[in-house]
Structure 1
Amino acid sequence: MGDETQETRQKPPRATRLTLLCRGATASNRLSRLASDEPLLEREWERAERLAPLLPACDAVFCAPEASARETAALFGLHPAIAVPLRDVDYGRWNGLALEDIAAQGPADLQRWLSDPAAAPHGGESFAAARTRCISWLDDQHAVGGHLLAITHAIVLKLVLAHVLDAPLQAIWRTDVEPFGALTLTSDGRRWALRFFGSPLAFA
Structure 2
Amino acid sequence: MTVRLTLLCTAASTERDVRFGADAPLDERALRGVRTAVGSLPAADARCTGPSQRCKQTAQALGWDAVTVEPALRDLDLGSWQGRTPDEIATVDGIGLAVWMSDPTATPHGGESVTAACHRIATWLDSLPADAGRVLAVVEQSTARAALVHALGAPHQSFWRIDVPPLSAVHLTGRDGRWNLRMGAVFATPAGEGT
For normalisation by structure 2, the TM-score amounts to: 0.89
Counterpart position of 2:145: 158
Counterpart position of 2:158: 171
Q: Are 2:72 and 2:121, in contact at CA under 8 Å, matched by a contact in 1?
A: yes
Q: Helix, strand or coil: the match of 1:43?
A: helix
Counterpart position of 1:24: 11
Deviations 1:38-68 (A, max 9, x none): 2112202221221111111100001001100
- Cα root mean square deviation, aligned: 1.8
The residue identity in structure 2 corresponding to 1:122 is H
Decide which of 57, 64, 72 is 2:50's aligned counterpart. 64
> Hey, what's the Cα distance between the residues in 2 that align with 1:196 and 1:170?
22
Q: Are 2:14 and 2:29, in contact at CA under 8 Å, matched by a contact in 1?
A: no
Decide which of 9, 19, 31 is 1:45's aligned counterpart. 31
- Alignment partner of 1:34 is 2:20: yes
**Runs of 4+ off more than 3 Å:** none
The residue identity in structure 2 corresponding to 1:93 is S
Work out the percentage of aligned pairs sharing the same amino acid: 39
Higher share in helix: 1
Provide structure 1 residue ranges, at least 5 long, that are not aligned to the other structure. Answer: 1-13
Provide structure 2 residue ranges, at least 5 long, that are not aligned to the other structure. Answer: 188-195
Decide which of 140, 162, 168 is 1:181's aligned counterpart. 168
Residue 113 of structure 1: CA displacement? 0.8
Q: Map 1:141-156 to 2 at 5 A.
A: 141-156=128-143
- Alignment partner of 1:99 is 2:82: no
Q: Are 2:9 and 2:138, in contact at CA under 8 Å, matched by a contact in 1?
A: yes
| Higher radius of gyration, 1 or 2 | 1
